[in-house]
Structure 1
Amino acid sequence: MENIKSYIESGILELYVLGDLAADERSEVEAMSKLHPEVKAELGQIESVMQSLADSLQVLPSEKVRTGFLNSISFSDEEEIIAPVAKQQEAKVVALTKNYTNFYKYAFAASVALLLVSLVAIISLNNSLKNSKQQIAALQSSNQSFANKVNYLDQQVTKTTSALDIYSNPDVKMVKLEGTANAKGAKIMVAFNPKTNKVGLDMKSMDMPKNDADHQYQLWALVDGKPVDLGVFDIEGNQIGFKNMKEISKAQTFAVTLEPRGGSINPTMDKLMVMGNI
């Protein structure tokens, strides 16, 4: 379909209607019009436009010219005078008609030629504009894709830098949570800063089964034997950096359970996944 559209926009159909094609090119246009209804329809439209243009350019002698011509004819009662005068006037009419016919014929031909040149120029300009728009759209898409990649990398660098800052902070206690019978081999690193009460999860080192859409993991702190909710999280691919959880001033143990999405008031102990002591 794109090739047919390009064929129609090439200007060859206009040249066909004007009769300005070689025999083999005319045969090609006629074959294409038989094979493709859209080509045939375009030919019909071009012919209609050309006919309308020709009709609009048809010019009759003005009222002034006709009046002057009629006033130049005189009548006499003398028969010997009528015949020579009639012949003379007839010759004037023939010459005048011929002059006007030649003038308007050449004027029409010049108008058609100008129209053809204009059509070809418009078609060429239209194609150039379409190509330019496509190139601009492709460049904008490429720039947007590049900007998205740069933004993503910038976020990754920020997360990595933040993780390094946490690991190098002597006030932060890194607590390793290891898997239970429900998740053998699972592990999570929890960063706990008693001075700032901040708690975070190291997403890069996390090794946990991926949760489904109906469940989330929930982090708990055991404070004087009572569980305290520290928030929920999901396991997603290619995670880096630390995920901030709810703050707490003190804790003896951290644990993670699998709960319905949104979390629970109390931990579901038979869904205990990992735990570790400070």
Structure 2
Amino acid sequence: MDINNYINSGILELYVAGALSDEENKEVYAMMQKHPEVLNEVLQIEAAILKLTEATAPKNAVLDFSPIAEKISKSNTESKVINMKAERLRTSWLSVTGWAAAVILGVGLFWSIQENSELQSKISLSETDKDFLEQQIEIADSDLKEAKSLISILRDRNMLAIPLGGQAVYPEAYAKVYWDKESNSMYLDAQGLPEPPEGKVYQVWSLTLNPLTPTSLGTLDDFVTDNNKIFTIENANASEAFGITLEPAGGSDSPTLEQLYALGTVASVS
């Protein structure tokens, strides 16, 4: 079995949410014991949920971004992602099921809080199992108010999931934007970006296509120190695409196209 395909299938997110059958839970549990990368992915999913509301909301500045037009026009109208590897296109559970899967994850987190006392009574397994259960207890013991706020966000059917594909400077890069147009809230998962070199910082751009214009959504100043690489950004723009470039510390007035790391278009919603 290809472990990367298994991880990208979406079954781990449903496992965390408690939405699988008994047989499916046993299968996932067995995979966690056999493959450390599967266990690590489950732990990251749980930690990422609580981190969705952390970060800063930088100011916007409208700039000229005409050179990117050619890249946007060459994007695949079916995938809405430019130069994205096939493996990245298989992140189907959020891009296909959208808000419904987010609801399941939110409910799973709320359930884990209610079951905290039961979890504490069951820590008597092997060292690997013990570490996994301790992680669940840490999540369950988190502030209930923050959990409820997160659940409310994930339940919103207007939350769009926009994958950003790696570009020529670093084809292996990837990121994902979760955007609620009604509340102007945007959550950027930048885990697929490499650590920037000293003196450099990632800058996020909102793009409109007609006319082609960028709006700076700010820099990811805490990228290196943020373990989960999830950032909250205010975005009141009529965005039709998003891009991430590597810029000098403090950001740039216009994007450096030679340092374009990730780019993706927003699918039309009826």
TM-score by length of 2: 0.41
TM-score by length of 1: 0.40
Q: With CA pairs under 8 Å and 6+ residues apart, which has the higher RCO, 1 or 2? A: 2
Whose radius of gyration is greater, 1 or 2?
Answer: 1
